[in-house]
Copies of this chain bind each other. A is one copy, B any other.
Amino acid sequence: MTSEHFYLGVDGGGTKCRARLRTADGLLLGEGLGGPANIRLGLDRAWSSILDAIQKALAQAGLDASAFARLHVGMGLAGIVTPADRVRTRATAPTFASLSTETDAHTACLGAFSGRDGAILIAGTGSAGYALINGQGHAVGGWGFEVSDEGSGASIGREAIRVALRAHDNLSPETGLTRQVRQRLGGSPAAIIAWVNDAGPADYGHLAPDVLAHAAQGDAVACAILAKAAKELEVYIRHLHALGAPHLCLMGGLSTPLTPWLSPWARSLLVEPEGDALEGALLMARRNTHLPIAKSALS
């Protein structure tokens, strides 16, 4: 029993980190939750969160850090952009039986299609697409809300402020949305400028629910913002499909509200994910060890 190997998947994001432990047969042994693990926050902090999540998952199976050498680990981490990022992440890792490291988009896509060809498009505070075709990953977008991340919550919120200021200047129509956005940010353009000076993507993204609520009531300006966001997401969808992804999973907080704004063609490509990013990470750990995938591991 002490020579038994385990499979452990990690999904590390900017706000939290999750770990899931399974046997070689795919039996679920434990799960653990840790803090932020985006490697941009620093490798020390990321590893601290990851190891916290791993040890919690091990504890549920009556195991501890002494089992590290028997763990085949797959990790999908936010903030991994270049091959060098993977190298320095691996270089600071404890000794596991094996370790594979990829972006969180890679593991999310692996999990969503159980390793088959497919693509994901994340529409949350930011936006980014990822396709896996013949084992090859293709990332698109996600370079940040200043110059990328079209169709994201941050882009939608920023556009809401733009139209609210234009309405104030009588450059475009005043509606319930434009009035509410100005009111929410202090009323006057001076107050709005002060708010913008301190605002990050998450702050802009917090305005997206206002746009959704007003669009649901037919507000013409809100509807135009969402139609534009959907059109921009559709550029990503078209690209990911052209790369060879037969189906896509739309993910993130805006996936459900934005889906009805997509064209019928784009909607026809969408499917629900089969597994989550942790299952994708577990699949990566199994592939890394050249073991067959237990069917139960993906159920």
Contact = CB atoms under 8 A, between A and B. Distances in A.
A273 interface: no
A161 interface: yes
Contacts of A1: none
State the copy count for this chain: 2
A90 interface: no
A143 B81 contact: no
Contacts of A165: 141, 143, 147-148
B140 A171 contact: yes
Contact of A235 (B146, B171, B188, B196): B171
B148 A162 contact: yes
Given A146-B196, A196-B146, A140 B162 contact: no
Interface in A190-231: 190, 192-193, 196, 199
Contact of A189 (B143, B158, B199): B143
A91 to B, nearest CB: 18
A38 to B, nearest CB: 13
B144 A193 contact: yes
A83 B189 CA distance: 13
Of A171, A188, A199, A235, most B-chain CB atoms within 10 Å: A171
A81 to B, nearest CB: 5
A82 B188 contact: yes
Contacts of A143: 165, 189, 192-193, 196
Contacts of A44: none
Contact of A190 (B82, B235, B239): B82
A299 interface: no
A139 B189 CA distance: 12
Contact of A169 (B141, B144, B146, B169): B141
Interface in A156-177: 158, 161-162, 165-166, 169-171
A171 B236 contact: yes
Nearest to A242: B170
A151 to B, nearest CB: 12
A199 B196 CA distance: 15
Top 9 A-B residue pairs of the complex, sorted by shortest distance between their CB atoms: A140-B169, A147-B161, A147-B162, A143-B165, A81-B190, A146-B196, A148-B165, A171-B239, A143-B189
Given A141-B169, A144-B196, A147-B192, 7 more contacts: A81-B189, A82-B188, A139-B169, A140-B171, A143-B165, A143-B196, A147-B158
10 contacts: A81-B189, A81-B190, A143-B165, A143-B189, A143-B192, A143-B196, A146-B196, A147-B158, A147-B165, A147-B196
